[in-house]
Structure 1
């Protein structure tokens, strides 16, 4: 049985040993084979060092067309606090590439440029080939070009010192178990990576020399220098991000504020023009109303004078009849005139509304850069009727027409003088007596010089009407002024208030911007005063 099973047992032991040896051979399985010029998608590795856990993210190459993976690249770089940019060719990086990196970077993130020197083992066959890695195939010049392009876009604050590294040589030195003197490279890469590793060992003699010459230690040093302070670095990175965001926003806000102030300065004349147009419209309204009413009153009194001449001539000697007829004529003329005044006023109010609306429309059209819709609500104009003569104090005193019409004014005045010995009641009685005497004298001489007396009576009536006309015209300006005040309260002040409200609403962003600028400036100043790696509450 032993003889029968021994070969099989031996085979199992060999297989076990092979699996045991292969269990440690895990390195290099993801290293590119040249099938593509960039990694397909993000690959994340967990790195544990000094009881701290870090994530290493390998992203597709940013050179050329990485459109298929642009979102993955952007997300990975935006998360990183340290980015290694590896140039694996002697081609000078394009500025557009550096601009891509800048657009992807989170604020406060540092970028370390590396130039990966390519070279198989036979490139280091002789001792003089292993003096300087930077001299290998113009690696130093390629690194300088890489740094120059990145620095011109990213700036010195973001860019760290650059290094030349030999990635494949570094990998070969680290993928080796010195205790067992065996490779840890994945068996699937026996035909390329394992052969390269053997050849490197052949010329360098030890993995230690390979490691030193590869300059991978410089890359490790970049990481080591950040391990002890990485938490503070992250906090400070976020503070830098906030400060830069605040600075950018402050710049934008200042630009907006200056632009808005310039805008307000440019539209200030338009508002003044609108207000001036409002004032001129109201003055024009006042002139038109005054001229219209003056014309109406003059026409009314002229017609009343003509009509009174006819009445006196027709009813001469009939005092009450003359008084009633003149009063009736006045009321008719007043009624007709009232219709004309109302029509004229409505037209004037409509014209005023149109002028105000036109001024408002022009103002809105002049403020073209502001998106708004200002609705003008014109209140309906009040209709104004010619008030009664008694209410307005424009009474024609028709009771006096009787004495004038009967040529007894002088007698009444004489009687008034006689009765002055008895003040008050005496005066009234004297006037009444004088009027009676005048009436009697008129009746006595009724048929003597009638035409002359009619003409004189007409003249006296005319003078009385003209006196009342003068009184009315003297008070016309005050009446129109009172009307204008009412019109102002009806809708003029409302529209002027809309203009002021519009101006205030356009000024409001200025106050908001000033407040935001003050708050952000204070926050930025407080962040700058905070100790490195610390964050503190900010009181407003």
Structure 2
């Protein structure tokens, strides 16, 4: 699988198998027999499965884009400021990364062309310091001399002023004779005045010359200082051009977000082709670097977890994700994870012991191994490596510009021990040997195994998701089965009780009518009516019964039926509430639930006629009550009633009734009883038949309702089976991708390298 076409075909087969497995399950469960609610239920299951398929295919698509099949990739992963970039920069120098070698050569060539070196800059800085000192001394001397000469000039000027004052005083106090004499003669002071004036002028001229000489010397120093400063600026400008080419530019400056993007560095060492990936720190602003971290570790075939602490990674608190949680989440799909303990060493004395780590470090690293093994597993976590990355970098770096903070540290370490000894004692040489020999051995097999494991875990994630959903639906189905059976039992009990109540109520109605009619007819007979009048009256009463009995039985039936529908609706509503709660609390993402409600509508004709309708909402099957009695249910006509009454008297009875009023009344009462008995026996017979028919139709309609209530159970059960079948298909595919176990690589140690 060393080319794009092969790997693309591989991922295509993966996606096809997932799609086909899902399609087969959906096709198997697509039969609904026209049940719209079951169709809706299956549609919900299909949505769940399709979401799972899309999620798995998205993971496969990401693996297709990120997986590396040609170059063995090692990611340096860890906490912010753990020294990942320092380790990688040192390895770039020691392993001869082509880009690093080119950059170092550019550094040296540019330095040569610019004709600058650290010594020239140091000489210029020393010269500038001396000139600045000389200029300061010259300025101080000039200021001091200026004050001194000014004092001398002021003193001479004061003497002249005193001399002039003396001359003026003497001339003012001369007598007349003396004034005449000194008109042609000078005073002694007047004779000395020109010499004093000349002396002052000469003093000022001399002082000015001395000051100009000092100023000239200062200007000369200042000019030389400006020239040297310009030379320094040119040298610093040259070094600024060199700075981007110096060693260590990828090393962080202490900011948690220094490395925001992953950077890859390719190597060919010992015939093995591999690349190192510098991953952003996992403890910085994860919103900025999460994508870079995820893509890097998904591309990697091996991961170095870099840490400065010889302790187990920290765990989270108060809902915050800890370092160990991030490691488990982000590195759990790897085949090979190593820990690098990057020991800080700011002083060469750290490297001068028998081993790089002390006893406390050893104890902490043992605990770290236990923690990482528990989180990643023995097949993934391979152990730890001890290095001192910064000291190794200082020994390996050769291209640094003045002002680089690493330069002084480098001089300190190299003054203590040689470059090769630093690399050995820092554990870096052992790490280099490990990369060249053991870690990258059989890299093609490792690449394949690492990529296959990621695909297997991708499938396993889907299987776990399916199994969890399957268990949820199985649990829901079990609870829904119990709930549905309970609700059905309640409905059966309600139906049985309602049938008995309907029969009792309707029989009571007929019994009451029968009793009322007998009383009314007896009262009529007592008025001593003729047989013809009696026959006409009895016929009229029976004819009236025909029209009233339907209305009155209907009222009784409607009352019982209303009570039944209310109780049935309460049972179904309670059932639906329980179903909703079961789905809500058992399934994380509950599918749409049925919302059942009764809507009753009775329409009565003048006969004994009942049409009932109870329908469910949400597309549920309608629960239809059959008519209690059809239109004109008894099927009587007036003639049929008269025939059923059979009012035919024998001649004897008629003659006797003519002579005996009491006998006539007795015979009329007997005829009334016989005919009422026949009428109500017929009514009862037809009523019971209609009640049985109504109960059968109610039972049939309730069977539809019970079937409707069972849909959530069937949906959960069918979904559980569908999820299970897809999980089995994916498990078969996962098991086909199991790689052969590779022999474990030995652990490099700084102790072994020093020994």
- Cα offset, 1:23, TM superposition: 10
- Cα offset, 1:152, TM superposition: 4.0
> CA, structure 1 residues 394+516, in 2 after alignment: closer, same or farther (shift >3 Å)?
farther
Which of the two has higher C-alpha Rg?
2
Whose relative contact order is higher, 1 or 2, with alpha carbons under 8 Å and at least 6 apart? 2
The answer (yes or no) to whether the contact 1:77–1:106 under 8 Å persists in 2 is: no
**1-structure distance, mates of 2:691, 2:287:** 80
The answer (yes or no) to whether the contact 1:60–1:73 under 8 Å persists in 2 is: no
- Cα offset, 1:164, TM superposition: 1.8
**SS at 2:381 equivalent:** coil
**1-structure distance, mates of 2:706, 2:350:** 90
**SS at 1:369 equivalent:** helix
Structure 1: stretches of 5+ with no match in the other structure: 1-11, 176-183, 409-437, 534-540
**1-structure distance, mates of 2:287, 2:482:** 55
Could you tell me which of 464, 471, 495 is aligned with 1:282?
Answer: 495
**2-structure distance, mates of 1:124, 1:498:** 79
> CA, structure 1 residues 56+302, in 2 after alignment: closer, same or farther (shift >3 Å)?
closer
- Cα offset, 1:326, TM superposition: 1.9
The answer (yes or no) to whether the contact 1:133–1:164 under 8 Å persists in 2 is: yes
Give the equivalent residue in structure 2 for 1:516.
Answer: 726
- Cα offset, 1:257, TM superposition: 3.5
- Cα offset, 1:360, TM superposition: 0.7
> Where do 1:42-61 residues align within 5 Å?
42=261, 44-49=263-268, 50=271, 52=273, 54-60=275-281
**2-structure distance, mates of 1:48, 1:494:** 73
Give the equivalent residue in structure 2 for 1:86.
Answer: 306
TM-score, normalised to structure 1's length? 0.72
- Cα offset, 1:391, TM superposition: 1.4
Give the equivalent residue in structure 2 for 1:398.
Answer: 642
The answer (yes or no) to whether the contact 1:275–1:496 under 8 Å persists in 2 is: yes
**1-structure distance, mates of 2:713, 2:367:** 57
Give the equivalent residue in structure 1 for 2:401.
Answer: 187
The answer (yes or no) to whether the contact 1:327–1:398 under 8 Å persists in 2 is: yes
Give deviations 1:366-409, integer Å, cap 9, x for gaps: 332324341334453464733658617999752475654x3x1x
The answer (yes or no) to whether the contact 1:110–1:160 under 8 Å persists in 2 is: yes
- Cα offset, 1:107, TM superposition: 1.0
**2-structure distance, mates of 1:459, 1:32:** 121
> CA, structure 1 residues 25+390, in 2 after alignment: closer, same or farther (shift >3 Å)?
closer
Give the equivalent residue in structure 2 for 1:416.
Answer: none
**2-structure distance, mates of 1:449, 1:14:** 160
* Further displaced range: 347-356 or 217-226: 217-226
Give the equivalent residue in structure 1 for 2:601.
Answer: 380
Give the equivalent residue in structure 1 for 2:690.
Answer: 479
The answer (yes or no) to whether the contact 2:266–2:275 under 8 Å persists in 1 is: yes
**SS at 2:595 equivalent:** coil
Is 1:499 the counterpart of 2:722 in the alignment?
no
**SS at 1:54 equivalent:** strand
- Cα offset, 1:312, TM superposition: 5.7
The answer (yes or no) to whether the contact 1:165–1:215 under 8 Å persists in 2 is: yes
Give the equivalent residue in structure 2 for 1:133.
Answer: 356
Give deviations 1:424-463, integer Å, cap 9, x for gaps: xxxxxxxxxxxxxx2xx56666642243233224313322
The answer (yes or no) to whether the contact 1:166–1:215 under 8 Å persists in 2 is: yes
> Where do 1:303-342 residues align within 5 Å?
303-309=516-522, 319=532, 322-342=534-554
**1-structure distance, mates of 2:508, 2:564:** 20
> CA, structure 1 residues 37+141, in 2 after alignment: closer, same or farther (shift >3 Å)?
farther
> CA, structure 1 residues 26+396, in 2 after alignment: closer, same or farther (shift >3 Å)?
same
**2-structure distance, mates of 1:24, 1:502:** 69
Give the equivalent residue in structure 1 for 2:450.
Answer: 237
**SS at 1:280 equivalent:** helix
Give the equivalent residue in structure 2 for 1:101.
Answer: 327
**2-structure distance, mates of 1:17, 1:58:** 36
Structure 2: stretches of 5+ with no match in the other structure: 1-110, 118-237, 316-321, 585-592, 609-630, 743-755
Give the equivalent residue in structure 2 for 1:458.
Answer: 669
**1-structure distance, mates of 2:654, 2:113:** 167
Give the equivalent residue in structure 1 for 2:248.
Answer: 28
Give deviations 1:402-429, integer Å, cap 9, x for gaps: 654x3x1xxxxxxxxxxxxxxxxxxxxx
Could you tell me which of 393, 412, 417 is aligned with 1:171?
Answer: 393
- Cα offset, 1:37, TM superposition: 7.3
* Further displaced range: 441-450 or 350-359: 441-450
> CA, structure 1 residues 389+120, in 2 after alignment: closer, same or farther (shift >3 Å)?
closer
The answer (yes or no) to whether the contact 1:394–1:468 under 8 Å persists in 2 is: no
Give the equivalent residue in structure 2 for 1:4.
Answer: none
Is 1:295 the counterpart of 2:508 in the alignment?
yes
Give the equivalent residue in structure 2 for 1:41.
Answer: 260
Give deviations 1:188-237, integer Å, cap 9, x for gaps: 466x54455455555544x4444333322332344334445445434422
**1-structure distance, mates of 2:429, 2:637:** 111
Could you tell me which of 143, 154, 161 is aligned with 2:376?
Answer: 154
Give the equivalent residue in structure 1 for 2:68.
Answer: none
* Further displaced range: 504-513 or 247-256: 247-256
The answer (yes or no) to whether the contact 2:476–2:583 under 8 Å persists in 1 is: no
> CA, structure 1 residues 274+381, in 2 after alignment: closer, same or farther (shift >3 Å)?
farther
**2-structure distance, mates of 1:395, 1:518:** 77
Number of equivalences: 469
- Cα offset, 1:476, TM superposition: 3.8
TM-score, normalised to structure 2's length? 0.54
> CA, structure 1 residues 276+36, in 2 after alignment: closer, same or farther (shift >3 Å)?
closer
Give the RMSD, CA atoms, in angstroms.
4.1
- Cα offset, 1:359, TM superposition: 0.7
> CA, structure 1 residues 510+85, in 2 after alignment: closer, same or farther (shift >3 Å)?
closer
The answer (yes or no) to whether the contact 1:346–1:383 under 8 Å persists in 2 is: no
Is 1:116 the counterpart of 2:116 in the alignment?
no
> CA, structure 1 residues 327+47, in 2 after alignment: closer, same or farther (shift >3 Å)?
same
> Where do 1:325-364 residues align within 5 Å?
325-364=537-576
**1-structure distance, mates of 2:313, 2:434:** 22
